[in-house]
Amino acid sequence: MASADSENRPGTQEAIPQAVKIIVAGGFGAGKTTMVASVSEITPLSTEEVMTEASQGVDDLGGVENKTTTTVALDFGRITINDDIVLYLFGTPGQDRFWFMWDELVEGALGAVVLADTRRLDTCFHAVDFFERRGVPFVVAVNRFEGAAVYETEEVREALDVSAGVPVVMADARERESSKEVLVALVTHIIDSRRPAMSG
């Protein structure tokens, strides 16, 4: 046990938890920040990333000139799982032009949640494509907004063309319990899809 005054001294040998992450992706305004906030134990933190010169060169293809830097806000929340593990939830930047950040964001991630906004399902195609291509396990969480057409999960699955193995669940990102269920569905899916087939 550490002595009484050691707690506030730097370098104190206190157990250091492993940091792991899950990505919350989806189109602009799909509810990413809301979902991160609803399950996070802290008010979501925000950091900024500045676009580099190299990235800017690519961005110029879009015709944006005379810009040297652009900042992108990254939201993230935290869930202490136990003494050994802290889970971070990172929301992807909503704007399409910040795709280049996804590479770093998904590096080492356990998996991802794709929030599908029923008012504009097409806005999450890119996230689905990205995770499929990278082999990042994901679930689709269908966020039902007021006034939006009501879809069955199977209709959404068909519209998004995700394989039968990918869970598609209904969600309300504003509800902690619902967001928690989505994360449980994701982790269950990751565990199941990693388990080697035993029967056969």
Ligand X SMILES: Nc1nc2c(ncn2[C@@H]2O[C@H](COP(=O)(O)OP(=O)(O)OP(=O)(O)O)[C@@H](O)[C@H]2O)c(=O)[nH]1
**Cβ 79 vs Cβ 90: under 8 Å:** no
Name the 3-class secondary structure at 43.
Answer: coil
Instruction: Return the range that interacts with ligand X (CB under 6 A); candidates 48-56, 82-90, 120-128, 140-148.
Output: 140-148
Task: List binders of other proteins among 101-140 (CB under 8 A).
Answer: 102-105, 107-108, 110, 121-122, 125-126, 128-130
Q: Are 136 and 111 in contact (CB under 8 A)?
A: yes
Smallest separation (angstroms) from Mg ion to the CB of 30: 9
> CB under 5 A: which stretch of 28-36, 125-133, 136-144, 161-169 binds Mg ion?
28-36
Measured between alpha carbons, how far is 6 from 12 in angstroms, rounded to an integer?
6
* Cα→Cα distances 97→61, 70, 72, 165, Å: 11, 10, 10, 30
DSSP label at 154?
A: H
- Contact partner, 146, from Mg ion, ligand X, other proteins, none, Cβ < 5-8 Å per class: ligand X
Write out the residues near Mg ion by the rule CB under 5 A: 32-33
Write out the residues near ligand X by the rule CB under 6 A: 26, 28-34, 91, 94, 143-146, 172-174
